[in-house]
Every structure is written in structure tokens, then in C-alpha cells.
Chains A and B, each alone.
Chain A
């Protein structure tokens, strides 16, 4: 047993740090507003460097890094508070296309997926199919060279920005529900595709409902075989879980809160939160739990390095990782005190917030963050996965 990273890995870390220093300067960290433009800008910088999809096979644009190097890269990105790459592209549909797609599909879709010239969104959940995803009812009926697709998808993150959507559709209604599903790629500009915003608690517009009415999809946009979509869907969900623990993002966020607690603008004449024993206790509990999570992730990484692959144990990372994110975001609300109340997300550039800077987004961020224990398979579904796949119950 040994905790140290090799010299080679440490040299690699330095390389990552200098790239970040140059392309994501220290003075903008934690301050870049998140929108389509800034997100794409960063994705394209990573793409230009060749680092946008480290986990992909090298022939499709991956980096050939070891799992440890990928871990170091994630860690340094988180420390620098960068955006991640566009996950729909790099962690979700990309791996499905290079694993199950035809040579023509790979050639057509992989380069723009890597470069984000196509912005993908995910058409999985439906109003009637959440945790029971395989019950989905959006149907695709073959007519000549096309599928005619009817139905609706929901919780579609950033559908308002997306160029294409990868969809699970029902192609056979008469078999066991998992066996009648196919995986289709659909151009969002196709007639019959409409997007309705869903505004979540705190006022964010991240998710949408996507309606599909007699949408004509060429059969060459079918991935793999008809009715094999559930296999591809499950494969994608395994990939989606990488870096789901978000240990280093959580550590960084907690560090910021500790700085705020120790230098609270409002504390000139009053008590500081950093002296409050209850606050201290919550911080230390979170720090210790984060350490447990970090070493669980490192153990899982070591398994991967030894070729044992990420198992269902990664559900632990999802459960504990999201619980910690939520605990930290609530701590931010507690730190904000009264100034958690004012709703000031739409301040103009020359307007000043009512309270200190750190209070502006605290409550909205906390409310938004309740999604983490729901998306990607709710934490209860994760427990079902562990019960079945690990404990054999």
C-alpha cells in the first residue's frame, strides 16, 4: 500500500496545472458566468488541446491516459473551478457511438461530438417513466427509410441549446419492456420537435420538456440494432457515473465557504461563523466524510487501473457524493443568514446585491442542488442497484 503518486504522474500534474493557469486564469476562477457561450468556449479550448475526452479510445480522440492521470486531471480541473466538458457529448452519447455505432455513424458524428459543433441532449426520461425508465412510451414506427417518432421526453437538460437529441424510443410494444427499446439520434431542427422550458426552484432554466410529433428520422440514425437500445442505455448510465462523486469540486466549494466564514463582511462588530461550534462541527463532519469518499474513489480507481472495471460500487460514489454536495450547499444558506432571502438572480451589471456577494446565489444553488440525489438514477435506485448487484439480495 502506498499513497504517493509516481514522478511521471507528478510531472503530468504540473503539465495540467500550467495549461489551466494559461487558459483558465486564477483571477476568473469561481467568477465565470455559466452560459452557452462560456461553456462552449471552454469545451473548445479543451478540444484544441486534445484533452476534451480523456476516457475515449485514442483513435477517436481520447488521450490514452491511465485512470490515475484522468483522476489527476479531474482533480486539477476541480481545484481551478473550471466547467467540465460537455458531458452529454463526452461521457454519454460519444462512448455509445464509438462502441455501438456503424463506421459511417462514427465518421459522421464523432468529430463534431468531440468538438461540440453538435451540442447533444439526452432523451431518456418521460412524464410517465422516471425511475422505471424501461416503461417509456415514445414510439418509433418504421415507414420505409424512416422512423416516425411520437411522444415526449422530460427533464431534458439544456435542450434549449441542443442541436441533436439521443433518444430511447419504443420500437416493439409487444415484448418485455426492456426488449422493445431502440436508440435513435434525432436532429432538433426536424419538423415536429418542440421544446418547452421547465423552470426549477430558484428560477433556473436548465431542464425542458421535448415534444416529438410525427418526427421523421432516417433509419441510418439508429444506433446498433433495433430493440437493443436498453443495452446501450445501461452502458451509457455506467459511463455517466464517472466523476459523479465530485470530491474535489465539493472540497473547493467548502474551502470557499470556510474563507467566507472567517472573513464575513458582516462580522466586523459581531460574532464570526468560523467561531461558532455548531458551524465548525458541520464543517469537520463534511471534511471527514469527504475524505472517506475520496479514498473510496481512489480504491475504485485502483481497481480500474488493475483492469477490474468500475463496478456497481460506483453507486456508493453517487449516493455519498450527492449527499455531500447537498450538505455543503445548505451550509452556504446558513452562512448567508438573512441575506439568503432576497431573490436577486437577475441583477443588471451596474446593480449591487442587497447582501454580500456570497449570499446572492446561496439559496438558489441549494434549491437547484436537490436535483443531484434525483438525477442519474435516484439515490434510492442506486441502493436497489447495490442491493441486487453487490449484496445479491
Chain B
């Protein structure tokens, strides 16, 4: 048993941390968000050059890593740097599906992702489905050697900036059946596909995807027809574990910022960090941060397989994420006083991202119930 990182992983972490420190400080990030695109293609190209995309894929896809630990190293640093570039939707979500389903097409697309030439999104959620992955109303009907897709996918990360999307649509069964869901690769400029794009409150790019009789060739089917639910579940579980690593970085950064601020801010003639009531709040933040770290490591070490243990681990990590991010984020803003609720200081932006991470892929309550069902505490 050990919690050590390999030399390669440590080098990857150091070079990424240095890049973010030197080239991606808070002011730079804010400028990127305010720019026309809301993200930086230049930064994206540098990520590719550093091998961050390839590090997320195994050798069979010409990558040089692909373990959950590799991914967690990158995500943790992204969390600390509050990076807005579409790594999660492109590499972890769409890339995760492609890696899972495999084949020549997947290999080709992953090569483009690794080169930094392709941005992707995965449309799985729907307006009425809340966090249930099996809730798919969007329909795909086979007509000759084409599928015709109609429906709406909700809040698809990077949908407005992606080149291609993978969309979950129903080829058979009822709206909330696990069976009968299929995945389709669709070019963004396909007729009938509209993206209602927007920035998210925490600085990412996203959009709702409206499909109005979108015709795609039968070869666009990713994986087996009707069998996409387990693929989605596995990919989302791995994404949750990657997100936990990002949350660990976010929580660490928020704790650091709060320590710095309370040491420098003086009231009643003394740094406010001297007040015991604030110290104890910061200790509680520290404990929640350590728990986030422990749960991330726990989940990361169970992420490279698929099955019951991985599902349970992902849900536990997500519950922890919800608790840690909420307590740490809210406390940090409180301890920063009025400054904490201004857009001028970084801490509030970390708080907003921390809060939205709880919502992504099902919030703490959702995953607590999932944990209860998976472990037999609650009837399925």
C-alpha cells in the first residue's frame, strides 16, 4: 500500500504547475474569460504540447499514461489554477467514451484530441432528467443507412466551442429505460443541429443542444446500438473521480488564499487570523480539505477497474466533494468579508466553481442515495 506518485507523474505535475503559475495567473484567466471565445486556443495548444491530453490515454491510443492517477495529477493542478479550457468535456468525457468503445474511428479522434486539434462535448443530460443518466427522451430513428435525431440535451459543457459532439439518444424503449440508449458522433455543422450557447457562472463554456431531425450516417454510431447506458455510467464515474481531484486542488487553493488574507487583514489592531473563532473555522476548512484529499486518493485507486467498487467509490467521492466544497467555499467568502463577494478577488471565483462542481454529474444528495442503493442500505 502506498500513496506515492511515479517520477513521471511528479514531473508532469511540476511542469504543469509551473506553466499555470507563470502563464495562467488569475488576471490572465479573467482576460481569457472576457475574450470573445471565452477560452484560449493558444493555451490549449500548449497543453497538447506538454502532453496533457496524451497523458490521459493508454498506449493503445498512442497515449503515454491513461491511469486515473495520471489524470488526477492534471485535474488537481487545473483545480488550483482554475483552468477554464475544455479538458473535462473533450478528454475526460468524450475521450472517455471513445476510449471505452474503441475502434478505428476512436483511435483517429483520440489522436486529434491528443494533438490539440479537436474540441469535443458529450451530451448526456436532458432538461427533465435531472441527474439520471438513463433519462433520455431524445430519439434516434433508423431510416435506411441513416439515423434521424430529435430532442434537446441540457447544459452540454463546451457544446458552443466544440468541433464535434457525442450525443446520447434513444433508439428503443421508454424514456427512463436503461436499455435502448445509443451514442452518436455528430459534427457541429450538421443540418438541424443548433447550440444555444452560454458561459457558465463559473467561467466555462457550455450550451443546450437542440436536435431537429438531424441526419447522421449509420457509421456515426459510437459503440453498440442500445447499449450505451453502462458506457455512460462508467465514463461519468471516472469523470467524477477526475472532478474530485480537481476539487482537491480547488479546496487547497481556497484554504491557502484564506490563510493569506486573514494574516494580512487587520481589524481591532491585529491580523484577524489571530482570532480563535476564525482560526477554528480555518481548521475546519483544513479538515474538510484533508477529507477531500483522502477520498480522492481512495477513489483514484479504485478507478481503473469497472464494477461495483468503482461505482461506490465514485459516489462516496462525490458526496465528499459536495460537503467539502460547500463548507470551504462558503467559509472562505465569509472570512474574506465584503471582499469575498466581489469579482475582484480570486477567492469568489474559486467558490463559484466549487459550488458548480457539486452540481455536475449529480450533487451530493443524489450520490448519497446512489451509495445507499449500491450498498444495499436502500431498496434499489
* Chain A interfacial positions (CB closer than 8 Å to B): 1-6, 9, 68, 258, 274-275, 277, 280-281, 283-285, 287-289, 291-296, 298-299, 302, 313, 316, 319-320, 380, 383-384, 386-387, 390-393
Contact = CB atoms under 8 A, between A and B. Distances in A.
A380 B69 contact: no
Contacts of B375: 284, 287
B368 A384 contact: no
Contacts of B302: 3
Contacts of A316: 287, 290
Contacts of B280: 380, 383, 387
A360 B289 CA distance: 39
Given A1-B297, A3-B302, A296-B294, 12 more contacts: A1-B301, A2-B2, A68-B1, A275-B379, A280-B377, A288-B319, A316-B287, A320-B291, A386-B287, A387-B282, A391-B283, A393-B263
Contacts, number: 106
Interface string B286-299: 11001101110110
B276 interface: yes
Interface string B162-197: 000000000000000000000000000000000000
B259 A280 contact: no
Interface of B: 1-5, 69, 259, 262-263, 273-274, 276, 279-280, 282-284, 286-287, 290-291, 293-295, 297-298, 300-302, 316, 319-320, 368, 371-372, 375, 377-379
A238 B290 CA distance: 20
Interface centre among B276, B284, B298 (most CB of A within 10 A): B298
A393 B368 contact: no
B286 A390 contact: yes
B377 A292 contact: no
B298 A295 contact: yes
Contact of B297 (A299, A386, A391): A299
A320 B377 CA distance: 23
Nearest to A285: B368
A338 B274 CA distance: 47
5 contacts: A1-B297, A288-B316, A291-B295, A292-B294, A383-B284
B283 A387 contact: yes
Nearest to B316: A288
Contacts of A258: 377
B1 A4 contact: yes
B316 A319 contact: no
Nearest to A284: B372
Nearest to A313: B290
A293 to B, nearest CB: 8
Query: Which of the listed residues B5, B282, B302 has the most CB atoms from chain A within 10 Å of its own CB?
Result: B282
Contact of A393 (B279, B293, B372, B377): B279
A295 B298 CA distance: 7
Nearest to B370: A284
A393 B282 contact: yes
Contacts of A384: 276, 279
A383 B368 contact: no
A316 B288 CA distance: 10
B368 A320 contact: no
Contact of B368 (A3, A284, A391, A392): A284
B78 to A, nearest CB: 19
B1 A288 contact: no
Given A384-B279, A387-B280, A280 B378 contact: yes
B1 A298 contact: yes
Nearest to A386: B283
Nearest to B365: A281
